[in-house]
């Protein structure tokens, strides 16, 4: 389902608020009616036989990327602190969904739900959660969550980092969420002058929020925003406690890492000034500077490890 992300009309906001209230009170009632028995992960939620079945599949289909002892190789580790903090407080069902829907990374959606559950049992066993008598089933799943891990943020290296909220995504996700689309907005200027973009005709009937949303900030406004996004979010690469996809901590304390981030902030500011001056010609140079600012860091910390999704030696 596509939901409009830009809510322009108060009517829609209110409509959403109402739906949320209805769900909230429904949840209260059903909780009161069912009183689910919550179980701890340490209560023996899977059986040893199930874990053994999981192990069979693991050795053939997973070990290559996650390591035979789940220590992580090209894929992230599936035991230890970084794994447990990724899954802190999340329902066990999410882990099974993740395996069923996205793994093996190179051949997703090839496992059955049962196999995914068996694999989860094996992962729990490797993580030293005790086995019990009964197997992990859909019914037990709904009641079990990973223990909540409190991760103390590493001591902040710079004053600014002290006030940053804890990370939500890994580094690659953050890059894809902000740096990638923002940089591409700027790179696209090489192909198209934002002032020359045809004005989209306003909403057709029936009114389409998605189409409308994509046309609200056209041309140079989109470039201003991209420049601001790059400048203001580059410091998020310094957030303590963030990990790279492979489970390694982002090297936020390294002097060269901080320099690469600072260099990106500088290019972002220059892009913003230039965008506000609506100086199209100057963007040839800015595109190049921006590309260098991304690539200088990638050469050292990203691309040594290989292509997307791989790279055990990334962030090292």
The contact set with ligand HEC (CB under 6 A) reads 61-62, 64-66, 74-76, 78, 83, 86, 95, 98-99, 102-106, 111, 119, 170-172, 175-176, 179-180, 183, 230, 237, 244-245, 257, 260-261, 264, 290, 293-294, 297-298, 301-302, 308-309, 314-315
Q: Which is nearer to ligand HEC, 64 or 253 (CB)?
A: 64
E-assigned strands of the chain? none
Q: Could you tell me the smallest distance in angstroms from the CB atom of residue 16 to ligand HEC?
A: 30
Residues 6 or more apart in contact with residue 209 via CB below 8 angstroms: 4, 6, 8, 12
Q: Which is nearer to ligand HEC, 128 or 199 (CB)?
A: 128
Q: Could you tell me the smallest distance in angstroms from the CB atom of residue 153 to ligand HEC?
A: 18
Q: Could you tell me the smallest distance in angstroms from the CB atom of residue 217 to ligand HEC?
A: 20
Asked if residue 174 lies in contact with residue 236, where contact means CB atoms within 8 angstroms, the answer is yes
Q: Which of 213, 215, 258, 263 is nearest to 240 (CA)?
A: 258
Q: Could you tell me the smallest distance in angstroms from the CB atom of residue 60 to ligand HEC?
A: 8
Compute the CA torsion angle 57, 109, 135, 55 (nearest 10 deg): 10
Q: Which is nearer to ligand HEC, 92 or 131 (CB)?
A: 92
Asked if residue 252 lies in contact with residue 157, where contact means CB atoms within 8 angstroms, the answer is yes
Q: Could you tell me the smallest distance in angstroms from the CB atom of residue 27 to ligand HEC?
A: 27
Spatial distance between the Cα atoms of 142 and 314, rounded to a whole number of angstroms = 36
Compute the CA torsion angle 292, 297, 303, 307 (nearest 10 deg): -80
Displacement of CA 297 from its chain's centroid (Å): 20
Q: Which is nearer to ligand HEC, 4 or 80 (CB)?
A: 80
Q: Which is nearer to ligand HEC, 84 or 282 (CB)?
A: 84
Q: Which is nearer to ligand HEC, 135 or 314 (CB)?
A: 314
Spatial distance between the Cα atoms of 250 and 174, rounded to a whole number of angstroms = 12
Residues 6 or more apart in contact with residue 173 via CB below 8 angstroms: 245
Q: Please tell me whether the peptide bond between 104 and the residue prior to it is cis, using omega within 30 degrees of 0.
A: yes
For residue 256, give the 3-state DSSP assignment: helix
Q: Could you tell me the smallest distance in angstroms from the CB atom of residue 115 to ligand HEC?
A: 8
Q: Which is nearer to ligand HEC, 73 or 212 (CB)?
A: 73
Q: Could you tell me the smallest distance in angstroms from the CB atom of residue 195 to ligand HEC?
A: 23
């Amino acid at each position: 389902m596509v939901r409009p992300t830009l809510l322009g009309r108060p009517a829609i906001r209110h409509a959403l608020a109402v739906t949320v209230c209805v769900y909230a009170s429904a949840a209260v009632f059903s909780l009161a009616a069912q009183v689910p028995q919550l179980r701890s992960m340490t209560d023996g939620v899977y059986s040893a036989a199930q874990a053994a079945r999981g192990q069979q599949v693991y050795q053939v289909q997973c070990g290559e990327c996650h390591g035979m002892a789940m220590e992580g190789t090209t894929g992230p580790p599936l035991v230890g602190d970084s794994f447990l903090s990724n899954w802190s407080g999340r329902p066990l069902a999410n882990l099974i969904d993740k395996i069923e829907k996205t793994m093996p990374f190179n051949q997703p959606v090839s496992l059955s739900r049962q196999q995914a559950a068996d694999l989860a049992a094996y992962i729990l066993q490797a993580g030293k959660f005790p086995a019990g008598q009964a197997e992990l089933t859909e019914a037990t799943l709904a009641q079990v969550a990973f223990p909540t891990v409190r991760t103390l943020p590493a001591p902040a290296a710079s004053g600014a980092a002290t006030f940053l909220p804890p990370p939500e995504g890994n580094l690659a996700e953050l890059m894809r969420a902000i740096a990638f689309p923002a940089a591409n907005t700027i790179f696209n200027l090489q192909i198209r002058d934002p002032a020359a973009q045809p004005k989209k005709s306003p909403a057709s009937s029936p009114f389409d929020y998605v189409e409308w949303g994509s046309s609200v900030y056209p041309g140079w406004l989109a470039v201003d925003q991209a420049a601001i996004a790059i400048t203001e979010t580059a410091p998020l690469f310094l957030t303590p406690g963030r990990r790279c996809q492979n489970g390694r901590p982002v090297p936020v304390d390294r002097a060269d890492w901080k320099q690469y981030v600072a260099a990106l902030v500088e290019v972002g500011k220059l892009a913003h000034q230039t965008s506000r001056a609506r100086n199209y010609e100057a963007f040839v140079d800015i595109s190049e500077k921006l590309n260098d600012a991304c690539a200088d860091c990638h050469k050292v910390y990203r691309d040594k490890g290989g292509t997307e999704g791989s790279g055990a030696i990334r962030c090292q």
